[in-house]
Structure 1
Amino acid sequence: MTTHASSIPSFDHDELIQSHPVPTLLIDSGGVVLFVNAAAEQLCNVSRSAMVGRVIYDVIQMDRSYRQRMNDAATSALFAHRAEITLGGRKSVFVDMQMVPYGQSGHRILALIPSQSDTELMGGAIGRSSRAAGAAASMLAHEIKNPLAGIKGAAQLLARKTGAGGERFTTLICAEVDRIATLIDQMEHFSRGQPILCGPINLYQPIHQAMETARARQFPGVRFAEDFDPSLPLVHGNHDAMVQILLNLVTNGCEALAGRDDGVVRIATAYRHGLSIDNGDGRGRIALPIEVSVSDNGPGVPRDIRGDLFDPFVTTKREGRGLGLALVAKLARDMGGTVQHMRDGDWTRFRVHLPVAQAKGRG
């Protein structure tokens, strides 16, 4: 057997890390900076000589929970998405922070990957197009609000001439007009990156409004079932956002049952102990014990799109636009919660998990 000398050149690991485009630092078990590559110097706007020998959180300002974990020799790994840090006394930036062990002496490699927006990743062209789309959306919102005001006025006039049975529907029309107008305002805020206003809400109020609206549409062959936990505490959320989430999910379930005479859409609430999420903002895991689920016994979502179900423009409907579930996911996320899809036997389930409202006087 003939052996050949390897043609693969040997690498200087220090030189390789030094030239790596990802900002990278080497810290010891106590968080002292031992090595900084050129990309980290550029990101921090601080020279290598000014960083080496200092404790990492004296160089990079970050949340106390991150400082404690980096200063703890027992913490060898750390992963945080969109962690907010301050570099070199400048304004705060968001990074994906990854810390992994290196060698046997307790040293750790810390990588700071800047979290870029879609506009930054795609360049200025998408920024210009998004601004144009935002302006078009504002004009469209203005044009929608005008007829909405007319619809509400007509419903209020009709309410004066109708009996008690009709008054129920005119009241619903007015409530839906108000909700849609508020939703338009919120969508304009979304385009500017502003968060929705959240506070303590009774979950059953938006559930009742969404179910009333769905029943008024009279989906043939569909029966509604309810399974509620009456002891749920107040939820941290937004009433109109919850109505939109529930109405989208209930409507999707009803439309999935089209043509059947044994369809069931079931809405349920429950308190789930142990559910939590880490948003990567330094606060650690946030409990999400409040669950509201919408289920249907329809055919379910095709397997090939289940992983992309909450992405924009993904849809199984011939006339659909694929924006409903993307909006559901965004609204849930903006309230600090999550939404999940699962296939459970003959049932398709969408589960929204939300935090409990904080008691007054607590941070």
Structure 2
Amino acid sequence: MNSIFSAPTLAAIPPEDEALRVPVRAFLEKALRDVPPDVRSRSWLGFDADFSCALAREGWIGLTLPTQYGGGGRSGFARFVLLEELLAAGAPVSAHWIADRQTAPLILRFGTQAQRDFYVPKIVRGEAFFSIGMSEPDTGSDLAGVRTRAVLNERGWLLNGRKIWTTNAHRSHYMVALVRTSGTAKDRHKGLSQIVIDLSLPGISVRPIRDVAGDAHFCEVLFEDVQLSPDALVGAEGAGWEQVTAELAFERSGPERIYSSIVLADTWLSEMQRAQVDHPVVREVAGRIAGRLAVLRAMSLAVAARLDRGERPDLEAALVKDLGTSFEQQLPEWIADAIDAVPEAPASDALTRTLAYVTQIKPTFSLRGGTRQIMRGIIARGLGLR
């Protein structure tokens, strides 16, 4: 009997894509053998250009991109397997992450043929790292309040303004930025466009911002009379809002929204196993982690399946992002409580450092990719509640 209450069919990874797990895991075991867990816990915030280039040589950047641009031509399920292994191992993937995850798909969908031919092969080879210019000072998560402006002139686009929280801008070759090309901030979504910015151009100042853990991932970027060429525009002028919302579905749906604390969990579980700890609190926390992770993984995989079919699961991606980042933030609290409950098995120095780092950085989990309030607004609209 068909019913809206019937159990949905869960997305399953095809055997040919699941088989990718074996060579990826072998590669990572060798590459990360001597890297301590507190370093690996940085994972997709860990920047290592040489590591990214090594992945590119294996054909693991641009895995789903068309073969005509050097991509692997594989399914979204293959990419899901690859990302799971990278994140579970705590691989330093930040250098190529944004370009692979959203810049290349954006350019392929909205860019000109010349832009596709120029940028996408470079991304696949690990030769072009991108940052994202969305947020601005004093506007928070209100992307529609963009004030950075690009004005068309006889040489192309003249750019002025500021962007903030631009991950790895100080290490990137390019930025894709959401800017205003007409109207004012009061026009909200109207008059917004996306442009590609070569970060080596004159008039650009990049100021790294240190986070609470002492790392410098985020930057403030200032543009003062930066002259861009006419082909800097991505897609149609004034279509930036539609384009950026499509792009954010890629940013919010991946397994990085559930695995940010996974190295900490694995480190803690390994220590409990080595110490042969059999304590009810340890069992309860381990079960809670496994149960939540299984559900979130199934949800994330379902979103990956829809993206693979060319759909736009904005509502579903926002839901996974909201629930996933809540899980990521709760996990270090659960583990800290479990460590306190078992004094006969004190945490090692490595586990202590890893817990300290994740505890410090966890507030950012619900900020990146859109705040919790933004996600819940998207969910409410998608359900017809507002």
TM-score range, shorter chain: under 0.3
Greater per-residue helix proportion? 2
> Normalized against structure 1, the TM-score is what?
0.25
Larger RCO, structure (CA 8 Å, separation 6 or more): 2
